[in-house]
Amino acid sequence: MRVFAIADPHLSSQNPKPMDVFGPGWEGHPEAFFEGWRRVVGPDDLVIVAGDISWAMRLDEALPDLRAIAELPGRKVLIRGNHDYWWPSISRLRAALPAGMYAIQNDSLVIDGVAVAGTRGWLVPGSPEYTEQDEKIYKREVERLRLSLESLKGKSFDHLIVALHFPPTGPDGSPTGFTDLIEQYEPDAVVYGHLHGAENTWLLTNWKGIPLHLVAADYLHFKPKLVLQV
């Protein structure tokens, strides 16, 4: 089995929102997203979709986008992004998801020996726009990642992938609560999205030897990135 990751599909089938207004990197979207996926992912593969899945505001509006992803090859694991306003309670979401599609929230999942844990993440201390309100959300998201990783106790797995929507560090690359947990659990890889355009200039590719993968769709030219092969 191969494990791929991609973030930021930013689909909007119900209320179309053209993404090419955000720059040339989005030309051909959303067709390029589906085409890129089909080119590399097989039916037995696993794909982590690391947030900002749909521009929808309600679950019923997001379901056509979720179904379109579900129809693509492979099994899918979703985490929430900062623009996924449609994401309801996890029980309601899981009841609505198509077959072969899973969502993580404060817990984890093991598929064919590969464990996936994660959370949305948030702005971290040291970010230029960081505020007192961000501090509360940041601490809450660190706790959610801790809960997700702790839920692996008692589960049997051979490999671990940590999925975030926001990067685990800020622009200065300093340690955060997220990197503390990454060091503690030593995953095979960490995937994240959220960064677009010029922001990519400060991305890190590893944290103390642990691979960090930026998998924002526009950064990958809409082709899911292979992060693990087992």
pLDDT at 25: 87
pLDDT at 200: 56
Cα separation, 22 vs 115, in Å, equals 34
Give pLDDT tens digits for 7-36: 999 999 988 887 877 788 899 999 999 999
Nearest to 230 by CA among 112, 76, 117, 108: 112
Give pLDDT tens digits for 93-128: 999 999 999 999 999 999 999 999 999 999 999 888
**Which residues lie across from 102 on neighbouring strands?**
77
Between 195 and 157, the more confident residue is 157
pLDDT-based confidence at 191, cuts 50/70/90?
Answer: very high
Q: Which helix (H) or strand (E) holds 75?
A: strand 75-79
For the chain, what are the domain ranges? 2-229
Contact 44, 74 (CB under 8 A): yes
Name residue 66's amino acid: L
pLDDT at 40: 98
Is residue 76 over pLDDT 80? yes
User: 2-229, what's its fold?
Assistant: Purple Acid Phosphatase; chain A, domain 2 (3.60.21)
